[in-house]
Structure 1
Amino acid sequence: MTHNTPLSPRPLQQLPEVHRRVLSTARLRSHGISTAELNERCRPGGPWQLLLPNVVLLHPGPPTDEERLHGALLYASRESAPGVPVQPSAQDPHRPVYTEAVITGLAALALYGFSSAPPLESLDRVDVLVPRQRRLRSTGYVRVLRTSALPTPCAVTGLPVAPVPRALADAVAELTDPGVVRRLLTEAVRGRHCEPAAVVRELTEAQLLTCPHVVDAVDLLLAEGRARAEEHLYRMVREYGLPDPVWNVDLRLPGGPHLGGLDAYWPEQAVAVELDTRAPRQGPREDDDAVWSQYARKREHLERLGITVVHITPKKLRDSLEQQAAVVRTALMASGDRDPAAYVVVLPR
């Protein structure tokens, strides 16, 4: 038997619990349920009910949150044969795998545990991403969102869920309450779900940075991200025994031009740390390139003056604090092997 050989269906009672309660009509037929029997069981007052087109709930009561999510994925997923979800080849070979269907929006954020997202039971709609070429309509409680590039899903409670930045963008696209948008974006950073830059990239891609309430929330998000990065920077100096720098300073040449702001500076060693908190914003790609060119020119100018500049991203501070401390320590130790730096004026920023 090859991996493409159809699997024989096993009895319904042997399926995983949720898949004994929500099944496609084609899957039921593969288990020997005839169309006539299916129609009889789904009649008003019958033991089953049609949850969505071609998706059956195998009990008469209201669906649970889990059943609604699996039903939405059953409805939206690509099937390998008429009505039969693609089957995996390991662990449980009879468990459906939902292909070309990913939960996104507020339902995804609720699955990630966002306290600022409505609980699943209060959502009257589940958003599902599918490839743009799919011919599939929104129906019932399922809203179909088409995308040219389906994101690689994360497995949350066994379900394919869009990464947090994409789920946020899809949720924000439908929200008009500035407070809700602000709380969702802020929680994404405070809860360490993702970096601000990743969120801004998705919002830019979705063309949402033309909305004033979204722009305001993004400004707060970036400020939140910078504050957290600064906390990590302070912690790095404290926990890894680095000498105390002067914090948040501006450098100037005596009687000359402004050289730029720095997050930490060691005057004796002429070593600086700059947090790279750039994030793509509204506008063409050339705008972001211009911002990076400005960063590069500033760094080159300082290094021509004999000042070593260490650029650190918030992600590196979060994920590899010890490694970043080693980079800074190496730069400090190497200062004795360099020519003396130009004299600069250090001012509070």
Structure 2
Amino acid sequence: MTNTPLSPRPLSHLAAERRRVMSAAQLRAHGVSAAEAAAHCRPGGAWQQALPGVYLLHPGPPTSEERLHAALLYADRQPQPSDAMVTGLAALALYRFSAAPPLPSLDRIDVLVPRTRRLRSTGYVRIVRAAQEMPRAVEVTGLPVAPVARALADAVARIDDAPTVRRLLTEAVRDGHCEPTAVVRELNRLRLLTRPHVVDAVDALLAEGRALAEDRLYRMVRAHGLPEPLWNVDLRLPGGPHLGGVDAYWPDQAVAVELDTRSPRHDDDATWSEYTRKREHLERLGITVVHLTPRKLRDCLEQQAVVVRTALMAAGDRAPAAYVVVLPR
């Protein structure tokens, strides 16, 4: 019995593909050899080579989506993209940042790959290697995209214009894309906090994040019917030392709320030790300290209101707190 090889699928079927961008490996899977692909890319041909090993299956200019797919196929060189992901300004455009240029205007598309990948930047693709492990990609419009904080850091690494950096970082926090600490952590990881214009932008970012967290705390108190506290006050022992500042304080119940808006630029361990010492000192005086993070206030406001309400209701079951002086901060 003679085994007759299967005939390759006709090339006409490729025109019906949803994406008209394919790698050489994908074309081979469809029965198209490298020689046939090259023949279709000759002057006047129906195809064109978008990037090494990546083909555009029509003669016209690529769309923004096709450029992105081609960049990922080039970076991955597999039938389907797996670990490569869009980062930098292209990623921010996909996240719909108003401060990021639109995709068609970008001369380069940054693609994040593992540090062990042997690959060079070429054409409009700029390869960015992860210094450590790869982040988990976020799917945006069907494409693997770096998380906002990482994409921001990769974008900032290429931008020297201080106003642009500031607008991007501020928009990330103001529009709820991510928390300030995540952004600063990525900037620090890429060693960008030695650049004066980045440091200035980070100061504005942290101030913006602090203001948003305080606003959420105000809304939590009022929306959930909690008693009105004294806002942003310092606590002292009568004639004694300064105990520290708190963001909200209910003197009748001796309950304080403190927002954790530490900056990752500093030594987290040292700053956390200071937080802990202050909290322990206040609790030895009978003051309950509720520690809230901006992320918890953003993601589960109602749950945080329950935590505060429970602390207020439990005040009657505790021994009376020491008398403290409350001063505006």
Band of TM-score, shorter chain: over 0.9
SS of residue in 1 equivalent to 2:291: strand
Which of these residues, 112, 124, 127, is aligned with residue 144 of structure 1? 127
Deviations 1:283-341 (A, max 9, x none): xxxx2200000000000011111111000001111111111111111111111111111
Q: Structure 1, residues 72-93: CA drift from partner, whole Å, max 9, x if none?
A: 00100152xxxxx1xxxxxxxx
d(CA) in 2 for partners of 1:36 and 1:246?
76
Residue identity over aligned pairs, in percent, reads 73
Determine the C-alpha separation between the residues in 2 that align with 1:119 and 1:185: 17
User: Where do 4+ consecutive residues of structure 1 move more than 4 Å?
Assistant: none
CA separation in 2, counterparts of 1:263 and 1:29?
63
Match of 2:276 in 1: 296
Task: State the alpha-carbon separation in 1 of the partners of residues 111 and 38 from structure 2.
Answer: 27
1:100 aligns with 2:99: no
CA contact under 8 A between 1:78 and 1:100: conserved in structure 2? no
2:39 maps to what in 1?
A: 40
| Contact in 1 for aligned 2:150/2:186 (Cα 8 Å) | yes
1:136-215 paired onto structure 2 within 5 Å? 136-147=119-130, 148-215=132-199
Structure 1 residue 101, shift from structure 2 partner: 0.6
1:12 equivalent in alignment to 2:14: yes
Q: Match for residue 30 of structure 2?
A: 31
Contact kept, 8 Å, 2:235 with 2:244, in 1: the verdict is yes
| Residue of structure 1 aligned with 2:112, choices 125, 129, 133 | 129
1:75 corresponds to? 74
Query: 5+ residue gaps in structure 1?
Result: 1-7, 80-84, 86-96
What CA RMSD, in Å, does the superposition of the two structures yield over aligned residues? 1.5
- How many Å separate the matches in 1 of 2:40 and 2:14? 15
**Stretch moving more, 129-138 or 33-42:** 33-42
Cα distance in 1, alignment partners of residues 300 and 268 from structure 2: 26
Counterpart residue identity of residue 306, structure 1: G
Unaligned 5+ residue runs, structure 2?
A: 1-7
- Give the corresponding residue for 1:327: 307
Q: 1:225-256, CA deviations, whole angstroms, 9 ceiling, x for partnerless residues?
A: 11111111111110111111010101111111
How far apart in 2 are the matches of 1:310 and 1:141? 51
Counterpart among 212, 215, 237 of residue 231 in structure 1 = 215
Amino acid at match of 1:24: S
Cα distance change on mapping 1:325 and 1:9 into 2, 3 Å: farther
2:288 paired with 1:308: yes
Separation in 1, partners of 2:187, 2:30: 45
Give the secondary-structure state (helix, strand or coil) at the position aligned to 1:33: coil
Question: Number of matched residues?
Answer: 319
Aligned amino acid, residue 58 of structure 1:
L
By how many angstroms is 1:33 displaced? Answer: 2.6
Greater CA drift, 334-343 or 153-162: 334-343
1:250–1:347: 8 Å Cα contact kept in structure 2? yes
**1:263 matched to 2:240:** no
Deviation readout 1:180-221 (Å, 9 max, x if unpaired): 010001110111111111111111111111111111111111
TM-score (ref. length: structure 2): 0.94
